[in-house]
Chains A and B, each alone.
Chain A
Amino acid sequence: AQTVTQSQPEMSVQEAETVTLSCTYDTSESDYYLFWYKQPPSRQMILVIRQEAYKQQNATENRFSVNFQKAAKSFSLKISDSQLGDAAMYFCAPGRIGNEKLTFGTGTRLTIIP
Chain B
Amino acid sequence: GAVVSQHPSWVICKSGTSVKIECRSLDFQATTMFWYRQFPKQSLMLMATSNEGSKATYEQGVEKDKFLINHASLTLSTLTVTSAHPEDSSFYICSARAAANYGYTFGSGTRLTVV
Query: CA separation between A108 and B79, bound complex, in Å?
Result: 28
B contacts, CB < 8 Å to A:
32, 34, 38, 42-46, 49, 91, 93, 95, 97, 100-101, 103-104, 106, 108-109
Q: Main SS of the interface on chain A?
A: loop
A contacts, CB < 8 Å to B:
35, 37, 42-47, 50, 91, 95, 97-98, 100-107
Is B108 in contact with A44, judged by CB distance below 8 angstroms? yes
A91-B46 contact in complex given A44-B108, A47-B103, A100-B97, C-beta closer than 8 Å:
no
Q: Main SS of the interface on chain B?
A: strand
Query: CA separation between A39 and B50, bound complex, in Å?
Result: 23
A45-B93 contact in complex given A100-B32, A100-B49, A101-B49, C-beta closer than 8 Å:
yes
A91-B43 contact in complex given A43-B91, A43-B109, A101-B34, C-beta closer than 8 Å:
yes
A103 neighbours in B (Cβ, 8 Å) = 46
Is B44 in contact with A104, judged by CB distance below 8 angstroms? yes
B91 neighbours in A (Cβ, 8 Å) = 43
